[in-house]
A and B are shown apart, each in its own frame.
Chain A
């Protein structure tokens, strides 16, 4: 009996092990000397058009580097935020991974998960091939931890036909903006399409308000948690920011129920001509152009901060880039591939295929991109600087209080003051924790 019994068990085990072997993905290539080098590459653009581009880059690279095999994985924007953490926790960190700029990337540096790329970038021709200002937000303690792939900023786009019909001009001050909204509303048009199912969308508004309503030095000290504990996030500009946001909701300038609509759902209704304006990223221009025609819409910088103490010439936006895992077995190859990916040649290809501005020098031009995209890039270049996405620029524990608070403001269940006092509490706690480490 015992023998048969164990036969059964071992059969099971063998079956299980076989499966495990099948399921095993190529590991980091322990036998680096002989076998091909495998580089694992992880990003947040699983959309078919994007995947085509990355597949193209990989093919091109592997042609000239037969010893390197690039294994790519991707998940969409929202799930990326937890998937990358899951991977960090598992120790199966990809050799090259996407990261938003600012605090989101710094915490990888703090946690020892990111390779210092300063030398690779600054002591080679790499530094001449990427827009250096886009590297800045990937610097932590003076060292470069990430390389930008593309640049992005937020603009208000508007339906040209509608503006013409109601005799409207792109506004340049907050009051003018409100007047435009009011006119549209009076004519039965939803002034602004807004989808805040995932509250990063609201955070882009608030980030912009904050940048223009709060003194830059004060804001910097708050975001970086270097201000004295008692002063963190106490500037009245923050409350004003939320109040202006609330005003847009209360006046009925947003569509109904933004918290129940996704950002892309709202974009569909803007494209369908059901709203006059929408606050979108430069990368989305091409989608809107595909949907309603490149000439059917225009853009302007959101005049959100008239009268505030912030820098009115700031633009909300950030580069998107990649980091290299600190413990990668193949730093040389990983860096080399990243350099190829961010090169002007690939950058041009990126702009051509996707219509999204690349961070490579000279990639965006009249030849590669739509005029309206070129104009957007122009605006980035003339802006006095960038205010990074709020949700990736401050510590995640504050984000997790701040962003739901914005949804509550939209729903009318919390006042701006309440939200800010919760943010202050969270900021104090985080500051304390960071000190203790």
Chain B
């Protein structure tokens, strides 16, 4: 069956057979390898998921088996305890931060990809340099800046630093993509007398859609999972995002592990769903030139 893909084999019968056997073997091992890897990747979550339906006692006695009865009330308890609130906060912070970030990055990437101006390289490094910086370095001063701006312990205290530290990568992605775009449409638009902003809005943004989808997904993953800023800049339980909320949730429930496990599963579902729904576009966007070989 493997012959289909390799029709140009040398004619020698001996070689033909050996190579077919080798291909079978390598195919077998490749599948085996990836099945094992998939199990390693998924089993921890599956283990948490099955145990989230047990009682604590069952968890300790038989953590391998499927639950005997399904204790959905673990989920009800987790939900009631505020997981829903944390997820909602995460959605809000993620959506707003990603939108602001993408808008700003698009504009910056456009200027850097299409305009010739003094200090362009300097500004390019100014923005992309952020890729290399550890957010920890800024932590203590940031904290004081946010306090001075009176936005400590608000959504903005998470949104703004997240935008700032996400901006370099999204700008990098979008700019790389723009560099590969043909200039014809823009030139046509300029000849028609369109302003810079309308070229940007009506020509560039639509052309960039594939990379925007990928960049948004990558950025959303990052913001959704962000931990340190939320840990340091948020006190109110009502504002906590999911990563932090889950931590205080686990802390407050102490040893009620099955409920904590239910909470883990609830928290994991939104991002898994988002990825599985968008994965095709995601790969396409990246392939379309975001990251080059």
| A–B direct contact (CB < 8 Å) | yes
A20-B103 contact in complex given A1-B195, A89-B143, C-beta closer than 8 Å:
no
Q: Which of A246-285 contact B (CB under 8 A)?
A: 264-265, 267-268, 272
Q: Is A14 an interface residue (CB 8 A)?
A: no
Interface residues on A, range: 35 or more
Indicate if the CB atoms of B155 and A92 lie closer than 8 Å: no
Indicate if the CB atoms of A92 and B235 lie closer than 8 Å: yes
Q: How far is the CA of A266 from the CA of B152 in the complex (A)?
A: 38
Mostly, the A contact residues are helix
Indicate if the CB atoms of B147 and A73 lie closer than 8 Å: no
Mostly, the B contact residues are helix
A90-B81 contact in complex given A12-B103, A47-B252, C-beta closer than 8 Å:
no
Residues on A with beta carbons closer than 8 Å to the beta carbon of B236: 25, 73
Residues on A with beta carbons closer than 8 Å to the beta carbon of B146: 90
Q: Is B60 an interface residue (CB 8 A)?
A: yes
Closest CB of chain A to B125's CB: distance in Å? 24
Residues on A with beta carbons closer than 8 Å to the beta carbon of B151: 20, 23
Indicate if the CB atoms of B195 and A4 lie closer than 8 Å: yes
Indicate if the CB atoms of B235 and A86 lie closer than 8 Å: yes
Q: Is A32 an interface residue (CB 8 A)?
A: no
Stretch at the interface among A74-82, A344-352, A384-392: A74-82
A76-B159 contact in complex given A5-B197, A86-B235, A92-B235, C-beta closer than 8 Å:
no
Q: Is B91 an interface residue (CB 8 A)?
A: no
Indicate if the CB atoms of B237 and A73 lie closer than 8 Å: yes
Closest CB of chain A to B250's CB: distance in Å? 9
Residues on A with beta carbons closer than 8 Å to the beta carbon of B156: 16, 19-20, 23
Q: Which residue of B lies closest to A86 (CB)?
A: B232
Q: Which of B85-115 contact A (CB under 8 A)?
A: 96, 100, 103
Q: Is A83 an interface residue (CB 8 A)?
A: yes
Indicate if the CB atoms of A268 and B155 lie closer than 8 Å: no
Closest CB of chain B to A349's CB: distance in Å? 21
Residues on A with beta carbons closer than 8 Å to the beta carbon of B197: 1, 4-5, 8
Closest CB of chain B to A83's CB: distance in Å? 7
Indicate if the CB atoms of B237 and A16 lie closer than 8 Å: no
> What are 12 A-to-B residue pairs whose CB atoms are below 8 Å?
A4-B198, A8-B197, A12-B100, A23-B239, A46-B252, A48-B252, A75-B248, A75-B251, A83-B235, A90-B143, A90-B153, A92-B152
**Given A16-B159, A25-B239, A272-B60, 13 other A-B residues pairs in contact with their CB atoms under 8 A:** A1-B197, A4-B195, A12-B100, A16-B100, A23-B239, A47-B254, A73-B235, A78-B251, A87-B235, A89-B144, A90-B153, A264-B255, A268-B56
A residues within 8 Å of B by Cβ?
1, 4-5, 8, 12, 15-16, 19-20, 22-25, 42, 46-48, 73-79, 83, 86-87, 89-92, 264-265, 267-268, 272
